[in-house]
Amino acid sequence: DLPTFRFPTKSLELTKIRIQGATELCNAGEQPFVGKVDLREQNIVDIEELVELCTRMEEACSGFTRFGFCQILDATDNFSEKMIVGWGGFGKVYKGQLPGGLNVAIKRADEHAAMLEVNSELQLAKLQHANVIRLLGWCIHGKERILVYEFMQNGSLDRYLCDRTKGPMLNWSKRFKIITGLTEGIVYLHKHSMFWLVHRDLKPHNVLLDCNMLPKIADFGSARALSSELAEERTSRVVGTSGYKAPEYASRGVYSMKTDVFSFGVLVLVIISGRKNTILDKRGVGDLVRDAWRMWKDQKLHELVDPLLGDGYEVSEITKCAQVALLCAQEDPTDRPTMTDVAAMLNSESISLPMEPKQPAALIHGCAERDTTSTYVSQSSRTIDITITSSAPMSTRVRIILDPEV
């Protein structure tokens, strides 16, 4: 087992650690964070550059077109409040109808929205998948920045999961199709789009349902393209939603495809249970993940199932989905499967899965401790990376290099 270090709750000032059996000293300050700072977050373009980008994308992407501002005003009844259907990552979303009768969703960026968020959302123009929302066009007029999407008449998934009156509309068959549809959509983003795209904000609010209650992943304002499917990058600007953010991303800004895998795991548990994943301490996995692991271990998953489902579900499907979700929601990203693995497990006819999820650290150490240590540990070759966090707003990452015992 790896050694456990405990520190007072004041800000950490650790610089050196000595490990028994090692002859080297490790200077924490000399070791860089894993991944590199995402410099694209500093690249804020102006309106003219954004128009140029949209124009180039219009020429390159079939089905992506420019709308006139008068068309947008007519479609939304001059941005009438009665046409508002929700809020996206950077602005209000209106329902609109084009002259041909096509219903669309029109997202109007508010004046404080970062240009980067609009740029990220534009990546959708390059994507075409049944489980990813389609970006139809754009409009820039003065300071107005507007994007036009296909309209999803049943709104977002969260409207059903936490609503006692709408919840019964989602029987288990529909919930299972939502889980498998999301799996296929994320596999596409991670492997089969023109780049390795990590969404970074998967949650029920960003899953829209079409007329058949099938899911489409939406709101790509936080999405980032990676340099490879194994890439791990770092940002100082952590976005996303508490309860769905992976621990390494929430605490250190490190993100990869495994960041989406964690969020997907929590999302599946929410779909099964109808519960929220409340974060009770800084360890970061949430009470829903902990409860689900206990129920899975004790073979009491029926206690996890949303009461609104009654007895109308397949026990084998619930068991498989819950186990897959717990594998995805493990704290160490190296323990999590890829989304391709997830798809294979969900499509497998076998009832039992080859892997078992590890016990959440909070259940091992107790979640009442104010200080937590070793919240993320990954090991390869002869190095161990450890993140040490405390209840103070600071964390330190160290790398310990182990030499053979003399």
Q: Give the catalytic positions in this structure.
A: 201
CA 288/CA 279 separation, integer angstroms: 9
CA 14/CA 31 separation, integer angstroms: 13
CA 337/CA 339 separation, integer angstroms: 6
Distances (CA, A) of 136 to 148, 211, 359: 5, 18, 44
β-bridge partners, 303: none
The annotation status of 282 as a binding-site residue, yes or no, is: no
The H or E element spanning position 27 is: strand 26-27
DSSP-derived secondary structure for 183-224: HHHHHIIIIISSSEEE-S--SGGGEEE-TTS-EEE---TT-E
Distances (CA, A) of 26 to 19, 376, 379: 9, 18, 16
With H, G, I as helix, E, B as strand and everything else as coil, classify residue 377: strand
β-bridge partners, 148: 106, 137
CA 249/CA 262 separation, integer angstroms: 10
Which one, of 157, 225, 126, 179, lies nearest residue 339 by Cα? 179
Are residues 228 and 256 in contact, defined by beta-carbon separation less than 8 angstroms? no
CA 276/CA 167 separation, integer angstroms: 14
| CB environment 336-348: b (16+ within 10 A), e (fewer) | bbbbebbbebbee
Annotation: binding site for ATP: 107
